[in-house]
Amino acid sequence: MSSRRDHLQSLNKNACQHPGLWLDKFIPTQPQPQQRTGEDVETKRNLVTDTATIASTPAVLDLYRCSFRRWRDTLTHLADTELRLATARGRVVVGIGNASVLETAISLQRTYGIPYIPGSALKGLAAAYARQRLDDTWGKPATIYDPDDPAQQPPSAYELLFGATSTAGYVTFHDALWYPDDPAHPQSLAADVLTVHHQAYYNQGGSQAPTDWDSPMPIPFLTATGSFLLALSGPPAWRSRAFEILAAALDQMGVGAKTSSGYGRMDLRSLPPTSTTPCGKKGEQTAATPSPRTIPVVGQIITSNVIERNTQKIAIQVPGHAPEHVLAILDIQADTPAWQPGEKARVEVIAIETGEQRTILRVQRAPKNRKS
pLDDT(85) > 90 = yes
For the chain, give the percent of residues with pLDDT over 90: 34
What's the pLDDT band for 126 if we cut at 50, 70, 90?
very high
DSSP class of 352: E
Q: What is the pTM of this model?
A: 0.68
**pLDDT > 70? residue 223:** yes
Nearest to 92 by CA among 114, 110, 72: 114
Ordered structural domains, the chain, with CATH: 67-121+173-270 (3.30.70), 301-365 (2.40.50.140)
Residue 256 near residue 84 (C-beta atoms within 8 A): no
Choose from 176-190, 264-278, 289-303 the range with maximum mean pLDDT: 176-190
Is 27 or 235 the better-scoring residue by pLDDT? Answer: 235
pLDDT level of residue 80 (50, 70, 90 thresholds): very high
Pairwise pLDDT comparison (228 vs 149), residue with the higher score:
228
Asked if residue 21 has pLDDT above 70, the reply is yes
- Pick the closest to residue 317 from 297, 335, 342 (CA basis): 342
Mean of pLDDT values over 2-17: 60
CA quadruple 86, 51, 68, 319: dihedral sign = positive
Model confidence at 372, pLDDT cuts 50, 70, 90, reads low
Instruction: Classify strands 116-117 and 176-178 as parallel, antiparallel or unpaired.
Output: antiparallel
Please state the three-class secondary structure of 3-54 as a single string. HHHHHHCCCCHHHCCCHHHHHHHCCCCCCCHHHCCHHHHHHHHHHHHHHHHH
pLDDT given for residue 183 in this prediction: 82
Confirm if 59 and 17 have CB atoms less than 8 A apart: yes
CA triple 319-322-323, angle to 5 deg: 95
Q: Residues 37, 45: contact at Cβ < 8 Å?
A: no
Q: Is the pLDDT of residue 1 over 60?
A: no
Reference 322, options 127, 165, 180, 186; nearest CA is: 186
Q: How far apart are alpha carbons 58 and 325 in whole angstroms?
A: 10
Instruction: Give the mean model confidence (pLDDT) for residues 81-109.
Output: 89
Tell me whether residue 120 is exposed, middle or buried, using C-beta atoms within 10 angstroms of its C-beta: 0 to 12, 13 to 18, 19 or more.
exposed
Between 295 and 225, name the one with better pLDDT: 225
Q: CB under 8 Å to 26, separation ≥6 — which residues?
A: 8, 11, 13, 16, 47
| Least trusted range by pLDDT, from 28-37, 57-66, 107-116, 274-283 | 274-283
Residues 159-169, mean pLDDT to the nearest whole number: 86
Partnered with residue 108 across adjacent β-strands are: 115
State the pLDDT confidence band at 176, using cuts at 50, 70 and 90. very high
Stretch 12-32: mean pLDDT, rounded? 72
CA distances from 350 to 296, 313, 355 (A): 10, 15, 17
Residue 259 has pLDDT above 80, yes or no: yes
Among the listed ranges 131-140, 256-265, 309-318, which one has the minimum average pLDDT value?
Answer: 131-140
Which is more confidently placed, 258 or 37?
A: 258
Question: Which of residues 174 and 153 earns the better pLDDT score?
Answer: 174
Answer whether 24's CB lies under 8 Å from 3's CB: no
Amino acid at 357: Q
* Residues written for the chain: 372
**pLDDT classification of 5: cutoffs 50, 70, 90:** low
What is the per-residue pLDDT for 194?
A: 77
